[in-house]
Chains A and B, each alone.
Chain A
Amino acid sequence: MTSASAIPAPQDILPDPDAQTIEAALVGAPNCGKTALFNAMTGATQKVGNYSGVTVERKVGIATTPSGRKFSVIDLPGTHSLRARSPDEEVTRDVLLGQRPGERVPDMLLAVADATNLRGALRLVNELKKVGLPIVLILNMIDIARHRGLQIDHEALSAELGIPVIPATAVRRGGLDALWEVVDPMLEAGLPERRPSTWQAPSSHDLRIAMREAERLVTAHVVQPPAPDTASARIDRVVLHPVAGPLILLGILFLMFQAVFSWAAPFMDAIDAVFGWLGALVAQVVPAGLVQSFLADGIVAGIGSVIIFLPQILFTFLFILLLEDFGYMARAAFLMDRVMGKAGLNGRAFIPLLSSFACAIPGIMAARVIDNRRDRLTTILVAPLMTCSARIPVYTLIIAAFIPNVKVFGGLSLQGLVMFGLYAAGVFSVLIVAFVARYVFAREERNAPLMLDLPDYKMPRPRNIALGLYQRARVFLRRAGTVIFWAMVVIWALSTFPQPPEGATQPAINYSLAAMIGKAVAPILAPLGFNWQIAVALVPGMAAREVAVAGLATVYAVSGEGGLIHTLAGQWSLATALALLAWYIFAPQCISTLAVIRREAGSAKWMWVAVVYMFALAYLAAFATYQIAAALGAG
């Protein structure tokens, strides 16, 4: 870090753990505005990664005080208590107690409290004081508290607690001035040495004492107006209404589908056009041959087939971030808890599964909101069964080729009904697999209860949303992009080599390794009614579902999907087509999803569990479909 002549890229200012910079840790309950405070303190210098060995997000950034002093800030996972109850909370406890290998102990703690609700934060501070680090208590969202008529005597609180207590508003310009005024001199004077920790997990008796003490402090130093009818309470009366509530939720879902499928389309077309143009450019500039084929078919088409999903993913995340910031997520979990509970899932699993209609990758990442590990794992494992957008090209192709475009039941399109049936099959398989998983994996574990805060509603902050989207986009492009990129390179090589001999009469791919693999695999797939051409298409289709369409086009050596539809209709039996649809409901044909499962579940074991159970279901479903259809005369 030298002079600030240019804005450095975030990764260039990665705080070195060995550096002699001061590290301050933000600690506080979820929903206390900790992340907004972190964003306000560190801005674009954030680096988001994972703690080693776990999938808990690790966020660090550099804060610069008005006097130019720099120190690093780590945003520890939100916690109500140091009594770690989830993997996230364990990280917070271990970092603070210096029990996390490879992670430095922070030099000071910035305890964050929601000023409108001090009791819980005061109890947490009571625990934090035992850790032995210097503490500053930040009364965040002080503007909202004042607006509601709360008067907090922060100086008296500070005297009683023996630590600085500072009112702040993370989301307002100048809202951190008071914080800097205290922190700057503290850093200037040098922080005291860390004292040995005397923290022990509190018993319910200890908790009662701490709660009473917090209650006493609030009674003594906070003047509260008599029970205000807050805006949140008024909104909740509508949003959590037994009839209106579920209808509003449905409306939001509908809007989200619209966004993901319609609003994202022009952006996707634009990306497609750019990559098409790039491919054409490569074809013009580079002479025909292996290099051109590698660049145009391997690299450009490969990267393009990944990036095309970015708009859908960003739209999904835009909705999720907005709903999260607004405070609606907890309400959705409240409304859906009973329904999800029937399938052995937690109410909080609703949103991740919803996102999986766009793409299982953001869905699996959104499962982080589930604090119970078993529920989170189950959600991660079933999310890929939801009908993601990558299945749409395959479904559309086969339906167009084999399902007659007729009206049934007085005006309903048969093709539309089949599409709807495929979506419904995805949802039902999610519920059934989750139900089964509950008994197979975790019989001995207790059913995790739903206990969640319904935080006050807040206006989403554009800056927070933008930062969130930027981080998701980066993660998606970096992680999923590299995996698919290499897969495409391998697939290109497999379907290109060995090259056809001189005077070859068949399409080039028939001489390639991909064809050899296809023919080798074909006997296994024969009971499903799949021929070797399907097997060949499924080989690249393992990397990403929609690639199978391109694979089929290559194998049948036709151009344009209209041509492919006629070819397929002439070559396959109806039973084969239906079996392939059934296969696609279940088959885990997406390397990036598997990579994300591996990352989010924390071990390769769960990825293999997903691969095995999904292939097993795919094989069984396709087998049953083909055999039954063939027996009925469609073979």
Chain B
Amino acid sequence: MMANPEKIEACSALPLGQCRRGFKGKLVSVSPVATQGGFDAEELERRLLELGFIEGASVQILHEGPFGRDPIAVRVNDTTVALRRHEAMAILAE
């Protein structure tokens, strides 16, 4: 569905950008690699943190966009945030 050239380091953790609707888990790390678009890694990390994506938070994919399953709506703790799969690749969850 989505070609991902980036390596997945943690053994059981998945990039949120690859998960499907219904995925429910705990956030393991927010660690953007230099992205092809969007922001630079540090800025993306800060923005994700500000939206509530922090290690230990509970995450759940509630909805997928109607076209190409992108973007995704993610429940993170008590808020719901929409983001594109591209940026969600920086979030590892298990």
Enumerate chain A residues within 8 angstroms of B63, measured Cβ to Cβ: 236, 240-241, 334
Q: Does A5 contact B (CB under 8 A)?
A: no
Q: Which of A288-296, A445-453, A569-577 contacts B (4 or more CB under 8 A)?
A: A445-453
Closest chain A CB from B7 CB (angstroms): 21
Q: Are A338 and B46 in touch, CB under 8 angstroms?
A: no
Contacting A at CB under 8 A, from B71-86, are 71, 73, 77-84, 86
Most buried by A among B49, B52, B54, B65: B65
CA distance A117 to B68 in the complex (A): 31
Contact of A242 among B37, B52, B62, B64 (CB under 8 A): B64
Q: Are A451 and B46 in touch, CB under 8 angstroms?
A: no
Closest chain A CB from B89 CB (angstroms): 11
Enumerate chain B residues within 8 angstroms of A451, measured Cβ to Cβ: 47-48, 51, 81-83, 87
Q: Does B70 contact A (CB under 8 A)?
A: yes
Most buried by A among B47, B70, B81, B82: B82
Closest chain A CB from B32 CB (angstroms): 10
Q: Are A334 and B73 in touch, CB under 8 angstroms?
A: yes
* Contact A337 B84, CB 8 Å, known A80-B50, A208-B49: yes
Q: Are A120 and B79 in touch, CB under 8 angstroms?
A: yes
Contacting B at CB under 8 A, from A333-376, are 333-335, 337-339, 347
Enumerate chain A residues within 8 angstroms of B82, measured Cβ to Cβ: 330, 333-334, 337, 450-454
Enumerate chain B residues within 8 angstroms of A545, measured Cβ to Cβ: none
Contacting A at CB under 8 A, from B1-57, are 37-39, 42, 44-52, 54-56
* Contact A335 B66, CB 8 Å, known A204-B45, A207-B49, A211-B49: yes
Contacting B at CB under 8 A, from A100-124, are 116-117, 119-120, 123
Contact of B66 among A119, A246, A455 (CB under 8 A): A246
Enumerate chain B residues within 8 angstroms of A245, measured Cβ to Cβ: 66
Contact of A204 among B42, B56, B66, B77 (CB under 8 A): B42
Contacting B at CB under 8 A, from A427-482, are 446-455
CA distance A241 to B48 in the complex (A): 25
Contacting B at CB under 8 A, from A202-253, are 202-204, 207-208, 211-212, 215, 224, 232-233, 236, 240-243, 245-246
Enumerate chain A residues within 8 angstroms of B55, measured Cβ to Cβ: 208
Q: Does A519 contact B (CB under 8 A)?
A: no
CA distance A232 to B63 in the complex (A): 13
* Contact A337 B78, CB 8 Å, known A120-B52, A446-B39: no
Contact of A233 among B39, B45, B54, B62 (CB under 8 A): B62
Q: Are A207 and B50 in touch, CB under 8 angstroms?
A: yes
Closest chain B CB from A34 CB (angstroms): 16
Q: Does A154 contact B (CB under 8 A)?
A: no
Contact of A454 among B42, B48, B67, B73 (CB under 8 A): B73
CA distance A455 to B68 in the complex (A): 23
Contact of B79 among A208, A337, A453 (CB under 8 A): A453
CA distance A17 to B20 in the complex (A): 54
* Contact A123 B78, CB 8 Å, known A337-B84, A446-B38, A449-B83: no
Q: Does A81 contact B (CB under 8 A)?
A: yes
Closest chain A CB from B88 CB (angstroms): 10
Closest chain B CB from A59 CB (angstroms): 24
Q: Are A207 and B46 in touch, CB under 8 angstroms?
A: yes
Q: Are B65 and A119 in touch, CB under 8 angstroms?
A: no
* Contact A449 B38, CB 8 Å, known A236-B73, A245-B66: yes
Determine the residue in chain A with the shortest Cβ distance to B46: A204
CA distance A207 to B50 in the complex (A): 7
CA distance A504 to B52 in the complex (A): 78
Q: Does A83 contact B (CB under 8 A)?
A: yes
Determine the residue in chain B with the shortest Cβ distance to A224: B78
* Contact A449 B49, CB 8 Å, known A119-B77, A338-B68: no
Q: Are A446 and B73 in touch, CB under 8 angstroms?
A: no
Closest chain B CB from A235 CB (angstroms): 11
Closest chain A CB from B4 CB (angstroms): 16
Enumerate chain A residues within 8 angstroms of B67, measured Cβ to Cβ: 338-339
Enumerate chain B residues within 8 angstroms of A450, measured Cβ to Cβ: 71, 82-84
Closest chain A CB from B53 CB (angstroms): 9
Closest chain B CB from A610 CB (angstroms): 27
Determine the residue in chain A with the shortest Cβ distance to B76: A119
Q: Are A212 and B54 in touch, CB under 8 angstroms?
A: yes
CA distance A330 to B49 in the complex (A): 20
Determine the residue in chain A with the shortest Cβ distance to B67: A338
* Contact A123 B50, CB 8 Å, known A204-B42, A240-B63, A337-B84: yes
Enumerate chain A residues within 8 angstroms of B44, measured Cβ to Cβ: 449
Closest chain B CB from A92 CB (angstroms): 14
Determine the residue in chain A with the shortest Cβ distance to B83: A451
The 9 tightest CB contacts between A and B, nearest first, are A338-B67, A454-B80, A240-B63, A447-B37, A449-B38, A207-B49, A242-B66, A204-B45, A211-B54
23 A-B residue pairings within 8 Å (CB atoms): A117-B79, A119-B78, A123-B50, A203-B42, A207-B46, A207-B50, A208-B49, A208-B54, A211-B49, A212-B54, A215-B54, A236-B63, A236-B80, A330-B82, A334-B65, A449-B37, A450-B71, A451-B48, A451-B82, A452-B82, A453-B81, A454-B73, A454-B82
